[in-house]
A and B are shown apart, each in its own frame.
Chain A
Amino acid sequence: MPGRKKRGQQTVVFDNPPVLTAWAAVVGPKEGEGPWGQDFDYVLDDYLYGEQTWELAEYKMLRETVKMALNKRNLLPEDVDLLLAGDLLNQIVASNFAARDLEIPFMGLYGACSTMAESLSLGAMLLDGDYYERVVAAACSHHYTAERQYRFPTQQGVQKAPSAQWTATAAGAVLLEASGSGPGLKGVTVGKVIDMGQTDANDMGSAMAAAAVHTIKTHLDDLNLESDYYDLIVSGDLGQVGSSIARQLFVRYGIIDPNYKDCGVLLYDQSQAVGSGGSGCGCSACMLCGPLLKKMQKGEIKRLLLVATGALMSPVTSFQGQSIPCIAHAVAIEMD
């Protein structure tokens, strides 16, 4: 028997939609120079953020982002029931270390770059299930920690493929509350892991496009929505290449003229030499917690579907010749 709140194949809707009452985004220098620099709460002067290593900078970025979000509601970390966060580092250390400092009960998540949608989804379910009053959902990534973990030493003189993406240095945190004023989180569609046999780690957008479109299609079908129901359907980090493939897949699956954009394309200017676009947990997290929620607050966007996408491989599986399994979770955010 399906759950009472489940709709269709993979979607749940909430009786009492949790509210996004506060949010914050911190980004690195390059992201600050992009088209949305004014919309973030804080732009780092340099990639070390006053720390000794990039890993420490990344965790500090996440910690400070959570604090900034709470500050906007005059809350302290001890007022929060649960922190759900994740990042790209091995053993998700950035989140673990941030949770250590914040002293909020914590569950660490790994959904690669889909983490922001994953943390929002779980947080919303826990709130609608009456387990908690306040949950913080957060995610972060750092260009140089990701680069050294997944690719080459950062000073290595290698040429990037034009389809390769630029891991964003960014963090985003949302305070979800059972009640309050702000955009409401109406429902979520939990994605399936989709693997189309792609093996090129320099072109993850293409691999992830299939997962993104599968989740979008399932979401619209499960809730019987028209493809233009949302003012904006925004994917996490498909980049130029991946989002052009997603557009072709929309046609194939009969999703007619959706208002579709991609965070990885939006985050940077064309001139910033980021290859196909941005990527990383922070990419969708900072776009949501910066410009997108700001636009919702101003009423420029009423209905938003955030479809954060993640490539679930590791350097080890790539070297072993395995294909890239991908996931996408959709979160429906609406302003009443």
Chain B
Amino acid sequence: MHTPEQKIKEIEKQEYEDLINQAKPKPNLARNMVWAFVVGGLICMLGQWMINLMLSRGISLADASSATSCILIFLAALFTGLGYYNELGQRAGAGSIVPITGFANAIVASALEYKREGYIFGVGARIFSVAGPTLVFGFVIAVLVGLIRVFLS
């Protein structure tokens, strides 16, 4: 059970929390959403444009999709290395994280960051330090969905 001292401490903490909630600047949701929508949309449009271009040259949809992913990943890696992608991320937020380019950025940024600790304990050990959760839960969901499909069919 709570002693009176603990109760007072709890109340003080709650009052402090209220004070902070008043003072803390709120993220500008409208602006952030517009940025995310426009940047995310442009990245996807770029991808779609590449696919359309390749389809029009007679490449199959499967090949065009794979090639487009590769090109987008390459571009994101390049611009991460040149130091532009994080500048974009500051403004675009989820708009530059959610597309495949965000995933490339997470991996390349880690690789660049830990290169100074060597290729084994630096790059090798920590390249997935940010992208790791995406991979792990991606695999887990893939297995679950696969199982559901097995049971349903």
Chain A interface (Cβ within 8 Å of chain B)? 52-53, 148, 152-163, 196-198, 203, 206, 210, 240-241, 244-245, 248-249, 273, 276
- Contact at A156–B90, with CB atoms within 8 Å? no
Asked whether A156 lies within 8 Å of B86 as measured between CB atoms, the reply is yes
> How far in angstroms is the closest Cβ of chain A from B143?
26
Contacts of A248 in B (CB 8 A): 19, 23
Q: Is A196 a contact of B23 with CB atoms below 8 Å?
A: no
Q: Which of A155, A197, A203 contacts B83 (CB 8 A)?
A: A155
Q: Which residues of B contact A (CB under 8 A)?
A: 12-13, 16-17, 19-20, 23-28, 32, 80-81, 83, 85-93, 96-97, 102, 105-106, 108-110, 112-114, 116, 129-130
Nearest-neighbour CB distance to chain A for B79, whole angstroms, equals 9
Min distance, Cβ A174 to any Cβ of chain B, angstroms: 32
A153 touching B130, Cβ below 8 Å: yes
> Which residues of chain A are near B113, meaning CB under 8 Å?
148, 153-155
List residues of chain A with CB within 8 A of the CB of B20: 198, 203, 206, 245
Q: Tell me the interface secondary structure of chain B in the complex.
A: helix
Q: Quick check: B109 and A154 within 8 Å, CB to CB?
A: yes
Select one of A153, A240, A244 contacting B112, CB under 8 A. Answer: A153
Q: In the complex, A163→B92 CA distance in Å?
A: 18
| Most chain B beta carbons < 10 A, residue from A152, A157, A197, A245 | A157
Cβ A157 vs Cβ B90 within 8 A: yes
Q: Which of A152, A156, A159, A273 contacts B93 (CB 8 A)?
A: A159
Q: Name the A residues within 8 Å of B80 (CB-CB).
A: 155, 157
Q: How far is the CB of A205 from chain B (nearest CB, A)?
A: 10
A33 to B48, CA, bound (A): 42
- Give every chain B residue within 8 A of A244 (Cβ-Cβ): 23
Known: A196-B16, A197-B17. A156 touches B24 (CB 8 A): no
Contact B106 A156 (CB under 8 A): yes
Sample (26) of A-B pairs whose CB atoms are under 8 Å apart: A148-B113, A152-B109, A153-B109, A153-B110, A153-B114, A153-B129, A154-B113, A155-B81, A155-B113, A156-B89, A156-B109, A156-B110, A157-B86, A157-B88, A157-B96, A159-B89, A159-B90, A162-B25, A162-B27, A196-B13, A198-B17, A198-B20, A203-B20, A241-B25, A245-B19, A273-B90
Kindly list 13 other residue pairs between chains A and B, CB separation below 8 angstroms, not including A157-B96, A162-B27: A152-B130, A153-B129, A154-B109, A155-B108, A156-B89, A157-B80, A157-B90, A157-B97, A162-B26, A196-B16, A197-B13, A206-B20, A240-B25
Q: Are B97 and A155 in contact (CB under 8 A)?
A: no
Would you give the shortest CB distance from B125 to chain A, in whole angstroms?
Answer: 14
User: Whole-angstrom distance from the CB of B2 to the nearest CB of chain A?
Assistant: 14
CA distance A249 to B26 in the complex (A): 21
Min CB distance A4 to B, Å, is 32
**Residues of chain A contacted by B16 (CB below 8 angstroms):** 196-198, 210
User: How long is the Cα–Cα vector from A148 to B116 in the complex, in angstroms?
Assistant: 12
User: B87 to chain A: which residues have CB within 8 Å?
Assistant: 157
- From residue B123, how far is it (CB to closest CB) to chain A in Å? 11
Contacts of A153 in B (CB 8 A): 109-110, 112-114, 129-130
Q: Which residues of B contact A240 (CB under 8 A)?
A: 25
Best-surrounded residue of A52, A152, A156, A206 (most CB of chain B within 10 A)? A156
Distance in angstroms from A89 CB to nearest chain B CB is 14
Residues of A within 8 A of B102 (CB): 157
Residue of A nearest to B36 (CB): A159
User: In the complex, which residues of chain B have a beta carbon less than 8 angstroms from the beta carbon of A273?
Assistant: 90
Chain B residues with CB below 8 A from A245, complex form = 19-20, 23
How distant is A109 from chain B, measured CB to nearest CB, in Å?
26
* For the complex of A and B, 7 pairs with smallest distance between CB atoms: A157-B89, A153-B113, A155-B109, A159-B93, A153-B109, A197-B13, A156-B109
A242 nearest CB neighbor, chain B only: B23
Chain B residues near A203 (CB-CB < 8 A)? 20, 24
* Shortest distance between the CB of B47 and any CB in chain A (Å): 17
A158 touches B89 (CB 8 A): yes
Which B residues lie within 8 Å of A156 (CB)?
86, 89, 105-106, 109-110, 130
